[in-house]
Structure 1
Amino acid sequence: MLKYLITERKLIVTLAKNDFRKKFAGSYMGILWALVQPVVTVLMYWFVFQVGLRQTQSYGGVPFILWMLAGLVPWFYFNDALTGGTNSLVEYSYLVKKVVFRIEILPIVKACSALYVHVFFVVLTYVLYCLYGKFPGWYSFQMLYYSGCMFILVLSLSYGTAAISVLFRDNVQIVAIALQVGVWFTPIMWNFADIAPHLPKVVCWIFKLNPMYYICYGYRDSLIGHVPFWHHPALTAWFWIFTILAYLWGTKTFRRSRGHFADVL
C-alpha cells in the first residue's frame, strides 16, 4: 500500500480529483452537492435530537450538536470511502481489463477522493467550535493521527470488499446495510458512558471492539476532552491489531481473486 502511495502518487491524485468531479458532472451545483448532503444530515440529526427529543445535555462542556459532530465527521468519511472502495473495481471495470494498469491503486483512489469532503467537514467543525467559543487547542492536531488510522483501516477493508464485489455483486448491498447498522452501533448520536453502567461488561467490550469506536472517541478526545491517544493503550493496541488483520485478509483476498476480475467484468 505504501509503495503504491509513493510510486503512483501523481496518478492517484489525478484519478482522485477526476473521481470526485465526475460524481456531480452535468449538475448545476456541481461539487457543492458533495457538501450539501452531509450538511443536511447533520441538521436533520440536530433537529431530531436537540429540538424534537430535547437533548439539551452538554458533554465535556460543549453543546450536544458539537459533541455529536465530532463523532459524525469521521463516520461520514468512513462510510463514503468504504462504499466507494467496495464498488471501485466494478465502477472502473474498463481500467481493470487493461493489462498494464495497476488495479491495486483503485481502492486508494476512492479513499483519497473521499478526503476532499472530509477536509471540508473538519474545517467546518473547527469553525463551529470557534463560533460557540470552544477554541480547539494543540490536542486537535491529533485528528491527523486518527484520520491516518481511519485511512489505513478503510483501505484494508476495501481491498477485500472490492474483490468480493466483483465475484459477488450483492456484496455492495451487504456493505451498505452493514454501514446503516454500524452508524447506530457506534456511539455517535448517543453517549457510551450513559449506558455503560447498565450493561454487562461483556456487552461493553463488544461495543469497544468496533474500530470506529476508537476513531470517533479519538476525535472527541482531540476536540473536547484534550486527551492524548497514548492514554488509551488497550484500545490503541486493539485497533492496530484489527487493522493489521483486516489488511492481511483484504490484500490476500484481492491477490487470490484478481486473476478472475477481467473475465467476470
Structure 2
Amino acid sequence: MQHYSISPNEAIVSFWKNRNLISTLVQRDVIGRYRGSVMGILWSFFNPVFMLLVYTFVFSVVFKAKWNAGSDSKTEFALVLFAGLIVFNLFSECISRAPTLILSNVNYVKKVVFPLEILPWVVLGSALFHTVISLLVWLVAYLIFFGMPNLTVLLLPLIFFPLIMFIMGVSWTLASLGVYLRDVSQFVSVITTVLMFLSPIFYPIGALPEQYQKFLLINPLTTAIENTRAILFWGKVPDMGIFAIYVFGALTIAWLGFAWFQKTRKGFADVI
C-alpha cells in the first residue's frame, strides 16, 4: 500500500510540483462556472459591484447606519461591511465546497494516479480570483468616495497569508471527512451561517457587551476581518504580536489538516 507523507514539507513540495496543474484546474473551474451565460466571466465583476451598491443604499440611505458614532460618512458603513464580507466569502466558498471535493472527483480517485491533495488548492484559487475582483471593486469605490487608498493596502497579501493557511487546513480536513461522513456538507452549511453572524461583519466588536467580546475573539475569522479592515479602510498596521500568534495557529491548523488528509486518503477508493 502506498505511503503518503504527512510532513509539512510534503504539502509545500506537492503544491510547487503541481503548480501548473493547479493553475489549469483553477482556470477551468472559474470559466466553467460561467459557461453558458450571456455575459460569461463578466459576472464575476458585476456581482460585487451590485452587492456594494445594495449595501451602500440599504445601510446609508434606509438605515442611516454609521460604523463610528462620530462619522458623518454615508458610505463608510457599506465599505467597512463589504471589506468584512470579502474575507468571509473567501472562507465560505472554500469551506462549503470542501466536503464534496473528493466525491465530485471520483475519477481522480479510482482511475488515475492523481495528487488529490491539490484539490483544495484549486477551490482556493478559484475563490481567490473572485476575492481579487471584489477587492478591486472595493478599492475603486474607496477611490471615488474617499480618495487615494492608504499605502497599508500593500500589506494585504501578508494579512491574507494566515487566512489562506487556515482555510487550507480546514478544507483538507473536511474533504477527507466528507468521504466517510456524507452529512458533513449539511453540518458545514449550518456552521458557516452561524459563523457569519458570530463574526464582526455587520457590527464592530465594540458594539457587544465587554463580557461577550472575548468569545468573538475566539472566532478565527475575527482577526482576519479586523486586520483587513485596519489596512484597507483605517490605514493602520495590525498588532504584530497578535498577528504572529495568528500565523502560528494558522500554520498549525494547515499542517494538522494536511496530515489528517494524508492519513485517511488510503481508504477513499474503498469507501467511494
2:260 matched to 1:253? yes
- CA distance in 1 between counterparts of 2:45 and 2:102 reads 25
Q: Give the corresponding residue for 1:223.
A: 232
Q: Report if aligned partners of 1:60, 1:224 keep a CA contact under 8 Å in 2.
A: no
Identify which of 106, 113, 117 aligns with 2:119: 106
Q: Report if aligned partners of 2:44, 2:133 keep a CA contact under 8 Å in 1.
A: no
Cα distance 1:57–1:172, how it changes in 2: closer, same or farther (>3 A)? closer
Structure 1 SS opposite 2:64: coil
Question: Unpaired runs of 5+ in structure 2?
Answer: 1-10
2:152 matched to 1:139? yes
Identify which of 65, 71, 76 aligns with 2:89: 76
Q: Report if aligned partners of 1:38, 1:76 keep a CA contact under 8 Å in 2.
A: no
Task: Give per-residue Cα distances to partners, 1:82-104, cap 9 Å, x unaligned.
Answer: 22333221222211223411111
Following superposition, the deviation at residue 45 of structure 1 comes to 4.0
Following superposition, the deviation at residue 169 of structure 1 comes to 1.4
Worse-superposed segment, 17-26 or 235-244 = 235-244
Structure 2 SS opposite 1:132: helix
2:22 matched to 1:23? no
- CA distance in 2 between counterparts of 1:58 and 1:134 reads 19
TM-score by length of 1: 0.88
Q: How many residues align?
A: 259
- CA distance in 2 between counterparts of 1:86 and 1:237 reads 29
Following superposition, the deviation at residue 142 of structure 1 comes to 1.0
Letter in 2 for 1:133: F
Worse-superposed segment, 55-64 or 135-144 = 55-64
2:170 matched to 1:163? no
Q: Give the corresponding residue for 1:5.
A: 15
Question: Unpaired runs of 5+ in structure 1?
Answer: none
Q: Report if aligned partners of 1:24, 1:31 keep a CA contact under 8 Å in 2.
A: yes
Letter in 2 for 1:211: P
CA RMSD of aligned residues (A): 2.2
Cα distance 1:13–1:149, how it changes in 2: closer, same or farther (>3 A)? same
Alignment of structure 1 residues 234-253 onto 2, 5 Å: 235-253=242-260
2:137 matched to 1:124? yes
TM-score by length of 2: 0.86
Cα distance 1:98–1:104, how it changes in 2: closer, same or farther (>3 A)? farther
Cα distance 1:180–1:42, how it changes in 2: closer, same or farther (>3 A)? farther
Letter in 2 for 1:98: K
Q: Report if aligned partners of 1:83, 1:175 keep a CA contact under 8 Å in 2.
A: yes
- CA distance in 2 between counterparts of 1:92 and 1:30 reads 24
Cα distance 1:2–1:178, how it changes in 2: closer, same or farther (>3 A)? same
Letter in 2 for 1:173: Q
Alignment of structure 1 residues 33-112 onto 2, 5 Å: 33-58=43-68, 63-112=76-125
Letter in 2 for 1:18: R
Identity %, equivalent residues: 26
Q: Report if aligned partners of 1:158, 1:250 keep a CA contact under 8 Å in 2.
A: yes
Following superposition, the deviation at residue 263 of structure 1 comes to 2.1
Alignment of structure 1 residues 136-215 onto 2, 5 Å: 136-195=149-208, 198-200=209-211, 203-215=212-224
Structure 1 SS opposite 2:203: coil
Cα distance 1:72–1:90, how it changes in 2: closer, same or farther (>3 A)? same
- CA distance in 1 between counterparts of 2:227 and 2:152 reads 10
Q: Report if aligned partners of 2:206, 2:213 keep a CA contact under 8 Å in 1.
A: no
Following superposition, the deviation at residue 24 of structure 1 comes to 2.5
Task: Give per-residue Cα distances to partners, 1:35-92, cap 9 Å, x unaligned.
Answer: 4544444444444433333214547966211111221111111111222333221222
Worse-superposed segment, 132-141 or 158-167 = 132-141
